[in-house]
Every structure is written in C-alpha cells, then in structure tokens.
Amino acid sequence: MARPDSVTRSSLNPERAASSRSVARVALAGVAVSVALLALTAAMAAVSDSYTLTAMAVDCAVDVVAAVVLWLGVRLADRATPRFPFGLYKIENLIQVGISVLIFIAAYEIAARAFTAREASTAIDAWVIGGVVATILGTWAYGWFALTRGRRLSSPALVADGRHRQTDVLSTSVGLAAVVSTYLGFDVDRIAAVAILVFAVYAGWGLLVDGMKALLDASVDAETLSRIRDILGSGALVQQVDGLAVRSSGRFLFLEATLHLRTDDLARAHAESHRLEGEVRSALPTIERVNFDLAPPVRDTLRIAAPLATRDGELSAEFGGSPYFGLTEVRTADGHVLRRDVLPNPHREAEKQKGILVAEWLVRQGVDVLVAREDVKKGPGYVLRQAGVDVRTTRAARLDEEVAALAGRRA
C-alpha cells in the first residue's frame, strides 16, 4: 500500500494511469531485450576470443544498466509527494541527459575501436557472423519500438532510449564489419566509423540539448504555443491573452497565462476559464496543470452603440427593426470622443431571428456598451452578454446625451 504522503499520479487520473503503465511496460521490455543481447554477445565473445565482440558485450552491459535506470526512472516519475507538489516528471529528462552521455561514450568506443590497432580474431565463422546480425536486428527492432511508442506517449525517456538503440545499431554494425572483414581477409572499419561517429555525436547532442531545455524550464516549441494561443483567443469573452508560458516536465506540460475577459462578472469569468481549460486539455492531453490569471478587460477606448430612428442620433424604441445604429468611440482616460459613425442596420429586413442577427453583428463590431430605450429581448440580450457587452437602458432621447453621461462617469 502506498504511503499517505506518496501517491501515484496514475491513481488520480485514469488516462494518465494507462499512459504511465504503457511507458513502464516498454521500459521493462527494454531491460529484457538488453539482458538477452548481453548474454548473446558475451557467449560469442567467449567462443571467438574476439576483441570486437568483447567490446560489443561491454556496450550491451551499458545498455542493461541504462535500461534498468530507465525503468526505475519512469516508475519514480509517476509519483507525487508533498515535498514535490509538481511531481517528479523531470526524472525522465534527467534520464534523457544521462542517455545522451552514454551515446557520447559509445561514440568514443567506436573511435577507439576504429582508429587503434586491433589483434585479428582467430575463431570467426558463419555462426558468429549470424549472431552479430541477430544482435543488430534485435537492437534495431527494440529501438524502433521504443522510439515509436515514446513519440505516441510523449515520453522523452523512451524517445531517448530509442535513439540510443539506433546508435547501438551503427556501433554493432562496426562489429559486424570487423568480423566479416576478418573472415574475408580485408578491413573497412575506419571508413564506417567516420559516418557512425558523426551520427552518434549529432544524436547525442540533440538529446542533451532537449533534456537541458526541459530541466532549465525552457518554453515549448513555437507551434505548440501558437496552437494554445489560438484556442484561448477563440473564447467569446477573451479580449487579450498575456504572459502565455508553457514548459515541459518529462512528458507533461505546465501552462500559465493571463486572460483579459470582457466581463466583470466573476461567475461568468470563471465559467469561461474552465471551458477554455477543457478545450486546451482536449487538444493537448499531455497538459498536467493549467493556471489562468483572470484580469479585467484592457480598455483604452470604449465603443458605445445604440439603435437609432434617424441619422441625426435620435434613439429608436426598436432593436432588431431599427433603421440605423450609432457607434461612438470614446477614450476612457478623459472621455474624449474619438469617432462617430452611423451605420444602416444590415438585418432590418430579415424574416427570422432579426434581433439575434443584429446582436451578432454588433459583437463583430467590437461593441463594449449597448444603450437602448427599451429592454433588449432575451435571445439578442443573451448573445450580447455572452460576448461581454454591457447592455443598458436609458431615458435619454439622443445618443450623444447618453455618450456624454457614460464618458463623464468613466473619465
């Protein structure tokens, strides 16, 4: 039974539990594959008395250690304690950095193997060559499996292990070239080693950089940031998104942002933030935590609209059927009127849902306040209020009178 102060994240989220179990199963399979390959290469080295095969067995021993560390790290990364409230997910990134170091070690071994004198193997036969081929195929198969599953499960540790095994395929290919060349009487190790070293160092450097970025809380890629910003910006009440930051920790993401909402109603603001959080989590299932700071709208100007009976600013008693709408833009700092427009009602002749169509049109105009002589009906009023428009009734006869009053109150 788990200790009270140490619980698994899996027990808190069924989907997370399934993902974590999948990662652990792949890591455990890596342990089994590594042990099997170590046994095979050690047996071939003992039979053939080959320096190359002995070095391959050493590589396989390193793989066994790496696989065990990977499995233990994945198991630990799924735990949360009061001392680590954000989880231990970065253990996977530590493993990623560690595996990159192992790749550098493998590259060094390849260089040493290719550029130093080597005694000829004395007992190379077709069975030994077949065993080396089997080692290559087994390493490649597990590397492909770990890389594919790691990308699907968003596990940097599995991706790193898959790339490490790909490097091992090239390293083992040097061994195959060595035993075949000895068997046939010529040697091509040095030529093959140059290409292998370039690949190994490049792969190891990429893993090291990715792992260190996560450990240092670097931001995720621009594409992911843009995707999240688009989701947040699509909210009807969202005026502006500031301070968007997303960092990775292991295979999970932590998101924070400031949302400027077109409403002063706390209940509506929180409802909108919960809805947006659900959309973000649906689009990116690897998000572990979302933190939204809800802020009032940023308003340097205020757009005031009203239904008009005439072009000269007389307020209309109708909403959907009014012939005109007046739009006035006021600077909030001092109440100065910046712009006045009178627009014809584009939906005046609509046969159905005239008021709703007009309300949606006003929302697209970026209206902040609507003033009317009569209460706006339920449907159009709902559309306006959901978009954060302040709907008011007035006793004024003309729009400029109400604008002067509003500007005076806000100045």
* pLDDT number for residue 100: 75
DSSP assignment of 215-250 equals HTT-B--HHHHHHHHHHHHT-TTEEEEEEEEEEEET
Query: Rounded to 5 degrees, what angle do the CA atoms 86, 280, 256 make?
Result: 45
Give every CB contact of residue 237 below 8 A, 6+ residues apart in sequence.
261, 262, 263, 268, 269, 272, 386, 387, 388
pLDDT digits over 12-64, tens only? 456 666 777 788 888 888 889 989 988 998 888 777 766 667 667 767 777 77
In one letter, which amino acid is 169? V
Confidence band (pLDDT; 50, 70, 90) for 343? Answer: very high
Count CB-CB contacts under 10 A for residue 87: 19
**HSE of 372, CA atoms in CB hemisphere, 13 A:** 21
**Residue 83 structure tokens:** 């001392």
Question: For residue 189, what are the CA distances in angstroms to 52, 131, 192, 294?
Answer: 11, 19, 5, 63
- Single-letter code of the amino acid located at 304: I
The helix/strand/coil state of 185 is coil
Exposure letters 292-311 (e unless 16+ CB within 10 A, then b) = beeeeeebeebbbbbbbbee
pLDDT digits (tens, 9 = 90+) for 138-164: 989 988 998 888 888 777 778 878 887
Which amino acid would we find at residue 143? Answer: G
pLDDT at 155: 76
Per the structure block, which two tokens stand in for 287? 């998000």
Residues found in the chain: 411
pLDDT at 193 over 60: no
**112-116, 258-262, 401-405: which has the highest mean pLDDT?**
258-262
Mean pLDDT along residues 240-245? 85
* pLDDT single digits (tens) 174-183: 778 777 877 7
Q: In order of start, what are the domains of the chain with their CATH numbers?
A: 7-215 (1.20.1510.10), 222-295 (3.30.70.1350), 301-410 (3.30.420.130)
Q: Please give the share of the chain, as a percent, with pLDDT higher than 90.
A: 9
Q: How far is CA 51 from the centre of its chain?
A: 46
DSSP code at position 65: H
- CB contact at 8 A, 320 and 358: yes
Tokens representing residue 29 in the block: 């399979």
Buried b (16+ CB within 10 A) or exposed e, 127-151: ebbebbeebbebbbebbebbbebbe
Q: Is the pLDDT of residue 190 over 60?
A: no
Beta bridge partners of 320: none
Residue 381 pLDDT > 60: yes
pTM, rounded to two decimals: 0.51
Distance, in Å, from the CA atom of 93 to the CA atom of 208, rounded to the nearest integer, reads 9
* Structure-derived torsion over alpha carbons of residues 305, 309, 310, 313, reported in degrees to the nearest 10: -40
C-alpha distances in Å from residue 169, one per residue of 137, 303, 374, 384: 8, 66, 78, 63
Banded pLDDT at 121 (limits 50, 70, 90)? very low
| C-alpha distance from residue 49 to each of 35, 46, 125, 247 (Å) | 21, 5, 12, 51
CB atoms within 10 A of CB 354: 18
Contact 211, 160 (CB under 8 A): yes
pLDDT tens digits, one per residue of 278-292: 888 888 877 878 888
CA distance 337 to 339: 6
d(CA 52, CA 118): 8
